[in-house]
Amino acid sequence: MRVLISGMNAWHTGITAKEFNAMEALEALWISNKNPGLPADKYKRIWPYHLGMKPFYHAPFPYLEEKMRWRNLWLYDAWVRRQTLPEGVDVVQCPMGSCSPVFDLADKSGRRILKVYEAMNGHPTTQRGYWQREADIHSPGFVVPISQKVWSRMNREIYRADCVLCPSTYVLESMVNNGVPREKCFLNPFGVDVSLFPRRKALPEPGVFKFVVTGNLTVRKGQQYLFEAFKKLHAEYPSAELHSFGDPRPDFKGLYAQWKGFPNLYLHASVSQKELGAFMAGCTAYVFPSLEEGFARSLLEAMSVGLPVIATHESGATTLLPRESPMIIPPASTEAIYRIMKALCEDRDLLCRLSEESCSKFDVNNTWGAYAKRLLDGYQERVDEMRRTRDSAH
């Protein structure tokens, strides 16, 4: 089994590539980011795309970087079309929006190669709808910075793919609800580096109520509902704290100005994973009320530390936690977030029980090595089935 991974942006694919390489299954990694630690013969940097994006990586307007990420796709396409697909490739795996030119190479090769669309979020139709809806409510005038042309491209990629890689039950459901055959979907939740998020040794001291959320501030991730919930909690527990790690995106600009300076609401910039793991160890719970997500890896990070996670189905949390768990909250519900945060402040036994439940749902299956092994096993089954189908047809 030989896999080629290609993407205009690495996201987590560099980690996947390193795990595949350790299992002697990686043919090549094509990305615009730096080499994540692969042998030189297994890595190609997509220089045209990287250089086209370089002026925008540290631009003062995050909206511009996000917009140009997709507008510069033509540079990625032009580079990929000049490549030759290695002879030994059995699978090509690409994140959403990056599939089209690689799928073209696979089709032109004349060989039966498994084409995998990796869904970083829900189905494009669902993702766009949720995001724009929240922007219309909380940031009037903001338009999602991805053009219709790109959304259409993602839809075509899903249609062309032999396999749609889904990191959560939410993503899988969104695909099926938008007409993607269930058998085409492959559910495989992400992994986490447990060395960066070690299990904490004890719960916070009684009377210490410290909640944490991570990720860029954007209406799609639902922090607007969390901040309102914390406002209600703070009125009853003035010593309670909420720490948000992440930078504000353009659709959250007005909300950020509104909440900046609110008592005990700490708006931090992003920090390293090691720092975040150490900070989480002293927290009461992790809160992630996302309205549209692929699978928030931060949920696994919090569970690895031993925090209860207060999260929506749409965040991907129900991939690991039962839907009836008190930690699962409905989307866009300030009241639901407030109630569970308040309950954790009032009931030490509940905090202990939910911490144990969170720990019990996290195990060796949630490492990156286990993630990669499941991928290879699943790909092998699908490749074998494709070959059996081809042979029977002849």
pLDDT tens per residue, range 92-136: 999 999 999 999 999 999 999 999 999 999 999 999 999 999 999
CA pseudo-torsion sign 110, 123, 380, 3: positive
> Per-residue pLDDT averaged across 154-175, rounded?
97
Q: Tens of pLDDT along 190-220?
A: 998 888 999 999 999 999 999 999 999 999 9
What integer pLDDT is reported at residue 69 of this predicted model?
87
Smallest Cα–Cα separation from 255: which of 336, 142, 165, 169? 142
| Higher-confidence position of 200 and 391 | 200
Q: Which residues contact 33 (CB under 8 A, 6 or more apart)?
A: 9, 10, 14, 45, 50
Which residues lie closer than 8 Å to 353 by C-beta, 6 or more apart?
none
Could you tell me if 165 and 118 are in contact, meaning their C-beta atoms sit under 8 angstroms apart? Answer: yes
Radius of gyration of the chain (CA): 22
The pLDDT of 236-252, averaged and rounded, is 94
Average pLDDT, the chain: 93
In angstroms, how far is CA 281 from the centroid of its own chain?
Answer: 22
Cβ-based neighbour number of residue 357 at 10 Å: 17
What band does 388 get if pLDDT is binned at 50, 70 and 90? confident
pLDDT of residue 292: 94
- Token readout for 210 is 């410290």
Judged against a pLDDT cut of 70, whether residue 393 lies above it is answered with no
Local structure of residue 333 (DSSP, 8 states): -
pLDDT value for 62: 59
DSSP string, 225-282: HHHHHHHHHHHH-TT-EEEEESPBPGGGHHHHHHHTT-TTEEEEPP--HHHHHHHHTT
- 219-231 pLDDT, tens per residue? 999 999 999 999 9
State CA 288 to chain mean position distance: 12
SS3 111: coil
Question: Per-residue DSSP letters for 171-210?
Answer: HHHHHHHTT--GGGEEE----B-TTTSPPPSSPPPTT--E
3-state SS record for 119-181: CCCCCHHHHHHHHHHHHHHHCCCCCCCCCHHHHHHHHHHHHHCCEEEECCHHHHHHHHHCCCC
Q: What percent of the chain has pLDDT over 90?
A: 85
Phi and psi at 166, nearest 5°, equal: -115, 120
Mean pLDDT of 144-157: 94
CA dist., res. 182 & res. 175, Å (int): 8
Q: Return the bridge partners of 304, or none.
A: none
Tens digit of pLDDT for each residue in 52-87? 998 887 765 656 777 888 999 999 999 999 999 999
**pLDDT band at residue 361 under the 50/70/90 scheme:** confident
- Rounded mean pLDDT, 299-315: 94
* Distance of alpha carbon 230 from alpha carbon 210, whole angstroms: 11
- 39-47's contacts with Cβ under 8 Å and 24+ in sequence apart are 42/17, 44/83, 46/8, 46/75, 46/76, 46/79, 46/80, 47/79
Residues in the chain: 394
Mean pLDDT of 127-147: 93
What is the reported pLDDT for 51? 94
The amino acid occupying position 254 is G
Query: Which residues, 6 or more positions from 379, have their beta carbon under 8 angstroms from its beta carbon?
Result: 1, 3, 90, 91, 114, 116, 163
Lowest mean pLDDT among 238-242, 265-269, 389-393: 389-393
Mean pLDDT for the stretch of residues 255-276: 94
77: which residues sit within 8 A by CB, 6+ positions away? 100, 101
Give residue-wise pLDDT tens across range 10-65. Answer: 888 999 999 999 999 999 999 999 999 999 999 999 999 999 998 887 765 656 77
* pLDDT of the residue at 257: 93
Residue 320 CA to residue 358 CA, distance in Å, equals 9
Instruction: Indicate if the pLDDT at residue 394 is higher than 60.
Output: no
State how far the Cα of 116 lies from the Cα of 1, in Å rounded to an integer. 14
3 pLDDT higher than 90: yes
